[in-house]
Amino acid sequence: MNKLLLGAVFFMVSNVICAQQLRLNEKNVDQILKAMTLEEKAQLLVGVSQNLVNGAAGAVAGFPQFGIPSAILADGPAGLRIDWKRDGDRNSYYTTAFPVGSCLAASWDVDLARQVGAAMGNETKEFGCDVLLAPGMNIHRNPLCGRNFEYLSEDPVVSGKIAAAIVHGIQSSGVGASVKHFVVNSQEDARQSVNEIVSQRALREIYLKGFEIAIRESNPWTVMSSYNRLNGPFTQENYELLTTLLRDEWKYKGMVMTDWTDPRNTVAQVHAGNDLMEPGHKEQVQQIIDGVKNGKLSIEEVNRNARRILEFILKTPKYHGYKFNNKPNLKAHAALVRIGGAEGMVLLKNENGVLPLSSNVKTAALFGSASYYSMSCGLGSGTVNPDHVVNIVDGLADAGISCTKDLQELYAEMHRFEDARHAMERGDDYDWKPGRVQYSEFELGDNAIRSQANKADIAIFTLGREATEGSDRPVTGNNGFNLTDLEIRMLKNVCREFHALGKKVIVVINSGSVIQTANWKDEPDAILLAWQPGEECGYSVADVLTGKVNPSGKLPMTWVEDVKDHPSTKNFPMKDGCNLSESLHKEGIDVGYRYFNTAQKQVSYPFGYGLSYTSFSYSKPVVKKTKEGFRATLVVSNTGNRSGREVVQMYVSAPKGNLKKPANELKAFAKTKTLNPGEKQVLSFDVSNYGLASFDDALDQWISDKGIYVVKFGASVEDIRAEAKYNLKKAFVKKVNDILKPNKVL
């Protein structure tokens, strides 16, 4: 008996000593997994709360006895979101508000996206975090999605390429990225429960394609599975999605974490290949332990997921003992934001070359609350706490354009009133802060507007829209897709009074998402879409309005005349309309320009559209076969008299085959450097035969039919400037798994 006891004590002590000596490194992951108890592994799979970095979203459990530190995960897509102040600490922890996703994508500039990613990654690392939960890259299925400002595009190639560049940038700084939300999280209302029912074709070609591109090209450390269900099960519990597709087909080796949910079917999540549960709940640990004990989960599955978490930990700054300084170079990052914001801006209208503003314009009457409280980003986890946001009024002043003081004072008075009212109503709601929220609009009478027209050289009318995670955008009302009657009346009256005196009106749109334009765009002389361009908003706007920067952004999504024009609107679960428990993707692949361009339905501004202060010509393109597909080249020349950059989009029309295809599909794009007048640049575009393929649900295969592909080069999907041909002599076919079938007839 005594001997036995002695033996047991010896065994325990030697185990403790062994464990103490065993510290995680690249070569001993197997050993660590052997040494960890089931309880420890279960805990590794379930996130924990942390108090190392206030305001960071979550953490992975640490095990000091194995040399496993606790890694910190923080939002988000427009820059690091942490609390800017900490109890009992007099330092501040402001971070940079970078351009939101839709703005960055509108630059069509992968180098810029990489630089912005690198700066965001640097802040993540210097504030002691290990992963930035970005980029958000769900497809803009419908303009009403509350988080479209965080996301990139309606097109998977734009989404995939820009996301890959952001991931490359973030990870070049030594922290991880998390591409999210995998997948079809294209709406916010009922996002935790809705079943997105999508055909295999639309899923593969539209919703998965961007992720496929980003994951294959940039190998993000982590992927975040979404809140919603997809064709039945939650994505987080979907083995076909997280293992058959992501790991087996796409060969992804990184870590998958859940979006921040309450406990669901933890056993199913682990089995599906969802490595980490976030934010993590105690009962999930027990559910994993019980799952193994009662045979619902195998220990191999637990080990498989734990291994992926350990392999992730090995890459983190925490593991490498990085000494962060809480002092990234915010000044340098602000300078990048100023450039990046301006690069994403899209000039929608410029009648008679009213822009850039002539140096005679000295005084502007600024209408619209967002002229004075401009929005750098949106609300929710994609928000940021910067130390400043440059309002449009201040950016213009810095560029030598002052605003009429009485109008400014009037707006200030209204905003003071609104602040006081909100302080009373919402208490200390942290989101009620200038730089993110939309102040109300109010109406001015004709006399007041006329007196402004007398005083100012020009009117600048800012239309602001705030949007938020957690709910979709309404069609009408404040912050709706449509302008309010008050906004339309004001805009018309301002145009009438200013035009009567021969003075111009410029509209600036300060919104991360699409708004209605068709019913008022004829009124003003120019329209600049500024998005939510980050903390230097006012400077970036002034740079474009004054011509310091020649606009080169192009729309990464269609701007429709009416929100109902999107086929998806019928099925988009609006609070006051459809059934919120399921979202039937009856429109299939008819998303964005794929529908409008093919159906030749008029839109307000087409996909890929954007004006410049100069003009460009495209040469005759040359198409040459490569091992994988083809390479096209063409020469772009600046034919105007200002320096500028051009985004060239390459669309392809496929030969007739068994599948109905969109008239034109974007397959590649490129942006020139800044070209001086008369200067030229050769751009090249690579496409593989796989990249040309469509998905055939019936045969579970990707197919590019043989025949002639018309390769088109456009300044937008409706402005094709040059064409060439590619002859695919033998059909390309790639058989894949028959997975992710809709659980209901569409």
Quote the least distance from Cβ 470 to ligand BGC, whole Å. 8
Binds ligand BGC (CB under 6 A): choice among 53, 57, 177, 463: 57
DSSP 56: -
> In the range 167-196, which residues lie near ligand BGC by CB under 6 A?
180
Pair 22, 66: CB distance under 8 Å: yes
| Contact assessment for residue 365 and residue 460, using Cβ atoms and an 8 Å cutoff | yes
What tokens were used for 343? 């690069």
Nearest to ligand BGC of 513, 614 (CB atom) = 513
Q: Is 146 or 621 the residue whose CB approaches ligand BGC more closely?
A: 146
Q: Which member of 29, 44, 100, 133 binds ligand BGC (CB under 6 A)? A: 133
Q: Which residues contact 607 (CB under 8 A, 6 or more apart)?
A: 154, 155, 555, 556, 557, 558, 592, 593, 596, 597, 666, 716, 717
Q: If we measure between CA atoms, which residue out of 316, 291, 313, 315 comes closest to residue 302? A: 291
**Is 485 among the residues known to form the active site?**
no
Q: What six digits make up the tokens of 681? A: 């640049």
Helix, coil or strand: residue 92: strand
Structure token digits, residue 544 = 């474009």
Instruction: Write the CB contacts of 189 (distance below 8 Å, at least 6 apart in sequence).
Output: 146, 471, 472, 573, 574, 575, 580
DSSP states of 509-566 as a string?
Answer: EEESS----TTTTTSSSEEEE--S--TTHHHHHHHHHHTSS------SS-B-SSGGGS
Can you tell me which of 40, 75, 130, 497 binds ligand BGC, judged by CB under 6 A?
A: 75
According to CB under 6 A, which residues from 224 to 263 bind ligand BGC?
Answer: 259-260
Residue 10 C-beta: closest distance to ligand BGC, Å: 46
CB closer to ligand BGC, 261 vs 688: 261
Q: Closer to ligand BGC at the Cβ: 185 or 516?
A: 185
Q: Which is nearer to ligand BGC, 76 or 662 (CB)?
A: 76
Tokens (6 digits) for 451? 């007196």
Please say which residue, 109 or 259, places its beta carbon nearer to ligand BGC: 259
User: What is the nearest approach in angstroms of ligand BGC to the Cβ of residue 99?
Assistant: 18
Q: How buried is 522 (Cβ within 10 angstroms: 0-12 exposed, 13-18 middle, 19+ buried)? A: exposed
Closer residue to ligand BGC (CB): 180 or 338: 180
> Which parts of 257-296 interact with ligand BGC (CB under 6 A)?
259-260
Cβ distance 120 to 70 under 8 Å?
no
- Residue corresponding to tokens 């390309």: 732
Q: How far is the CB of 227 from ligand BGC (least distance, A)?
A: 7
User: Which one from 109, 130, 189, 259 is the annotated catalytic residue?
Assistant: 259
Nearer to ligand BGC among residue 132 and residue 739 (C-beta) = 132
Shortest separation between residue 574's beta carbon and ligand BGC, angstroms: 20
- CA dist 464 → 85, 368, 483, 531, 603 (Å): 28, 8, 10, 9, 22
**Closer Cβ to ligand BGC, 185 or 199, answer by number:** 185
Q: Are strands 647-653 and 665-671 parallel, antiparallel or unpaired?
A: antiparallel
C-alpha 248/C-alpha 246 separation (Å) is 6
- Strands 707-716 and 222-225: what pairing? unpaired
Q: What's at 715, amino acid-wise?
A: A
Q: Quote the least distance from Cβ 221 to ligand BGC, whole Å.
A: 14
Phi, then psi, of 70 in degrees rounded to 5 = -85, 115
How big is the CA angle at 252 (ends 251 and 257), to the nearest 5 degrees?
150
Residues binding ligand BGC: number (CB under 6 A): 8
List, in sequence order, every residue forming a beta bridge with 178; answer none if it has no partner: 222
Write down the least CB distance from residue 259 to ligand BGC, Å.
5
Question: Least CB distance from residue 436 to ligand BGC, whole Å?
Answer: 16
Residue 516: CB partners within 8 Å, gap ≥ 6? Answer: 481, 482, 483, 561, 562, 563, 604
Judged by beta carbon, residue 162 or residue 526, the one nearer ligand BGC is: 162
Task: Give the separation between CA 88 and CA 54, rounded to whole angstroms.
Answer: 12
Count of residues for the chain? Answer: 746
Q: Shortest Cβ distance from residue 236 to ligand BGC (Å)?
A: 12
Q: Using CB under 6 A, which of 195, 236, 305, 381 touches ligand BGC? A: 381
What per-residue string of b and e applies to 410-433 under the rule 16 or more CB within 10 Å gives b? ebeebbeebeeeeeeeeeeeeebe
**Minimum CB separation from ligand BGC for residue 225, in Å?**
11
In this structure, what token pair is assigned to residue 708? 């002639």
**What tokens does 345 get?**
């801006």
| 573: helix, strand or coil | coil
Rounded Cα gap, residues 619 and 723, in angstroms: 10
At closest approach, how far in Å is the CB of 134 from ligand BGC? Answer: 8
Instruction: With both helix axes pointing from N to C terminus, report the angle between 446-455 and 485-500 in degrees, rounded to the nearest 10.
Output: 40
Contact map string, positions 76 to 95, toward ligand BGC, x by CB under 6 A: x-------------------
Distance separating alpha carbons of residues 341 and 695, to the nearest angstrom: 36
* Rounded Cα gap, residues 70 and 221, in angstroms: 16
506 touching ligand BGC, by CB under 6 A = no
Residue whose CB is less far from ligand BGC, 62 or 101: 101
Amino acid residing at 502: G
Binding positions for ligand BGC, rule: CB under 6 A? 57, 75-76, 133, 180, 259-260, 381
Give the residue numbers annotated as catalytic, written as ranges: 259
